[in-house]
Amino acid sequence: MSAFRRALAAELAHLWRNRFDFALLTLVPLICLVVMGGMLSRGSPHGLGVVIVDQDRSVASRSIVRAIGAVDALTIVDDVSSLSEGFSAIRRERAIAVVVLPSGLGGARTAATPRTIEIFYQSAFLSTGALTSALLQATITADLVRQAPTNAGVAGIALLRVPLPGVQVTLLGNPSASLEWYLGLLIGPAILHLLIAVTCAASLGRELVGGSMGPWAVRVGAPAMAAAGRLLPHVVIGTLWLCLWLLWLTLGQGFAFTGAIGLVAFGGLLLFVATAAISTLLIALTGEVATSLSASVIYAGSALAYSGASLPITGGIAVARIWSAILPLTHFVTLEMDQTIGVDGAIWAEQAAILALAALVAGGGATLLLRRQARQST
């Protein structure tokens, strides 16, 4: 029997006997994904509170208020008379934004200076505030354009002869602006990436003797093939969990990739192969389970933050950009998000090649270290 098959059989037997290690690959991912799925379910923005400060009380201002109230994602929580009352509602967390409709808005055609509608939004939760502001701005602008012929008085006759250009904004890959779809594609793979990094390091760490993998490498004869066989169950299980998560998001929740979901699944396989290779390198390099696990948590646990999907990396300091480019999850997230809009196959192949290269570099380095430790043990 080859070293690969012996290591594979031994690891499967260990997982069957050891309930804790088996649970790390089965029960823990299930709990994490179920909890996360529940938290993100129906994650499209809705009920974003808005306070109206209508200082005009005109037909024009009431039309704007009705337009805001008609937006599904927005909810008018109060109509107050002063800006201080609006800010008070934000401080009490009843609202996210305040819209000030100035006096004279309905008679803007007679004013020498155009009236300015003000939107104030809280930035404690920046993405929510920015989304609310964008929705308000688009809604108010559209209603003002609709009112333009009426507010222009006699000049409105001329405006009616010239159709105003329309503006329509469509989000590619996530037309409903769903946080469930967006965050699900990010957090699910990130959790599995971290779990597989930890389980692979723990699996190989069982063979450390005196801070070296040398005795194990001598015993198995072909350490590279033995490590591959030993970590294959971890890679396969991680890939299966990723596929189940993608099926839940698509078939279960109704989202869809414009590109091919199969390419995302294959990219996930490459991600977990690279993860297993890095864990092997860490164990061979450090000779300590605790240090390897700590390093795995540091690089895999922070990988999503440095992937560029949630926090901008472009234009950041060189260290952050280099670290982002080194991390395998960065390239998987790029590959995955590209399939939401259906990018060209050549672009997918570029990210897949980088993931494969990461696995080869880490695996090659681990192989050299294992062979060196084997020579030192003989």
In whole angstroms, what separates CA 348 from the centre of its chain? 18
Dist. CA 105–CA 57, nearest whole Å: 9
Q: How confident is the model at residue 30 (pLDDT cuts 50, 70, 90)?
A: very high
Break the chain into its structural domains and give their ranges: 3-41+178-377, 48-161
Angle of helix 27-40 versus helix 179-205 axis, rounded to 10: 160
- Cα Rg of the chain (Å, integer): 28
Q: Which CATH class is domain 48-161?
A: alpha beta
Q: How confident is the model at residue 362 (pLDDT cuts 50, 70, 90)?
A: very high
Dist. CA 233–CA 290, nearest whole Å: 22
pLDDT digits (tens, 9 = 90+) for 143-187: 887 776 655 554 444 444 444 444 455 556 666 667 788 889 999
Inform me whether the pLDDT recorded for 329 exceeds 60.
yes
Q: Identity (one letter) of the amino acid at 356?
A: A
**Environment class of residue 196 by beta-carbon count within 10 Å: exposed (0-12), middle (13-18) or buried (19+)?**
buried
User: Which pTM does this prediction carry?
Assistant: 0.80
The full length of the chain comes to 378
What is the mean pLDDT of the segment spanning 105-130? Answer: 70
